[in-house]
Chains A and B, each alone.
Chain A
């Protein structure tokens, strides 16, 4: 897909995500919205080699969503790509259904359990080391939250990955600046964030995490890397991106809109998708 098509897809997915959360009356919408473009660039931009109809294909790239509370985006992508039926989205958080509020490995396409934070980078490092030891062709990609980096285990894994020169490991941090109830810089500051990762021995790229152009460019460059260091992409994002009253707000981490807020969110997302040229999204919006 070209950048414009990727933007259409991002707009479409945001409506899927909102619809899923509204139907369930549950879910973390803003943490999902903040990494939509990251997910789209990976899964639709040709940078993550996976086979929806053969999710355990041996040579697939391994993807782990370490910020498990952002799973609505992953679910929307996996359903859209055909890892499982789209009807599963309608059963999100329903009793006994496949898709819970945080992802687990019973879901086709999900490689690790996440939701408790600080696990994904370590598991990814183990996968990357395993691949490196036996010269496997696949890479490991993990998407982390910035608040997650307050977990000590993240930095244990950071040291491990650089020490073992896991150049086949790519981590992307959704740097939306917010935890569950507060700004990261107000509870335990992460800055200087980029230099922290550099000090831990990683190659670090800082980009706009909503720019599909920038995301595509950096992901495209992975194949040409000669560095032995693991790659960290710090993606500056806006939590709740796409719905103005959610954007950058401390109030919406796991709150579901109701009443007029629903209509306002739909209108904003629909307007965005219309202006992006996605015809499907109008139809979807009527179903909300």
Chain B
């Protein structure tokens, strides 16, 4: 059964809005059923600021400075790149509790063209001091991470996919303050992924298991700040590592894991699978783009198989 990320997010936000009258949700004229539900119950705590992302972030900072926790909901590409300087100077420099709910990251809106692709959002935001970046893979994760962001009192960005999700975590099973979780264990190859790609990776891994190839899968749901010591514990003993992300090649988890390997002088086979850094023009549906970038199931299986079966020379 598939579930909607938005429902999970707004269920959590609803609870927070209900218990804290100094919580405000801003949107740049972006709708969601869950948001409407909050607005009906708490009309003073939801504000459509119009199509003005720069001002929305400055206003969010001002509201936060006056004692509010502010959620900002909008299309991921619009609430990250359009207003980057406001995020840098008004939100992150002031370390105020502004939590970005980025709807439709990666190629969620692929067919809507490059204006709506959020494929370098994490790369940009991780350069902002104090900005925590979450890429949840299911509803349990998203609820925990929304609460975590709220409790932190600091800026955060949560990627919320438009496509439905299948459950990964059982409720209360995992401590989400850890930043990552090993979803399945395997000896030879460790795959580091997150967000919507986790389901794709798991599907490919399930089919590989039928061939007798067992891979480890790590869900790096908090990309920034990365819990590097725990990530190293999870994948440092693997004979090869592959990262899989619906993000550009630069500044994603491939860059992160590649740096980690380099800094630790760990020379093992490594592949970073991503959308690349070229802008995708035209109607870049996920199905089409995954085929172009080696992210569809058969390509994933081929890469995983190849990396898992490399001779152990190190």
Contact = CB atoms under 8 A, between A and B. Distances in A.
Interface of A: 62, 104-105, 111-113, 116, 118-119, 121-131, 133-134, 136, 152-153, 156-157, 159-160
Contact of A125 (B44, B58, B89): B58
B68 interface: yes
Given A125-B58, A157-B58, A116 B89 contact: yes
User: Size range of the interface on B?
Assistant: 20 to 34
A129 B94 contact: no
B54 A122 contact: yes
Contacts of B65: 62, 111-112, 123, 126-127, 130
- DSSP majority for the B interface? helix
B5 to A, nearest CB: 28
B63 interface: yes
Interface in B36-70: 44, 49-50, 52, 54-55, 57-68
Given A113-B89, A131-B66, A159-B50, A126 B60 contact: yes
B7 interface: no
Most buried by B among A105, A116, A124, A133: A133
Contacts of B49: 160
A159 B49 CA distance: 10
Nearest to B98: A126
B86 interface: yes
A118 B89 CA distance: 11
Contacts of A126: 58-66
A123 B61 CA distance: 6
B128 to A, nearest CB: 13
B279 interface: no
B90 A130 contact: no
B85 interface: yes
- Pick the 6 closest A-B CB pairs, nearest first: A126-B62, A122-B58, A130-B66, A156-B55, A126-B59, A156-B52
Nearest to B91: A123
Contact of A153 (B54, B66, B67, B93): B54
A152 B49 CA distance: 15
Given A116-B89, A136-B66, 8 more contacts: A105-B94, A119-B89, A119-B90, A126-B62, A129-B66, A153-B58, A156-B52, A156-B54
8 contacts: A62-B65, A112-B90, A122-B61, A122-B62, A123-B90, A126-B58, A129-B59, A153-B86
B68 A160 contact: no
B63 A113 contact: no
Contacts of B66: 126-127, 129-131, 134, 136
B85 A123 contact: no
B143 to A, nearest CB: 27
A127 B89 contact: no
A133 B62 CA distance: 13
A124 B55 contact: no
A136 B67 CA distance: 11
Given A133-B44, A153-B54, A153-B55, A127 B93 contact: no
Most A-side CB within 10 Å, residue of B58, B60, B63, B64: B58
B62 A105 contact: no
Interface string B9-48: 0000000000000101000000000000000000010000
Contacts of A122: 54-55, 57-59, 61-62, 86, 90
A125 B85 contact: no
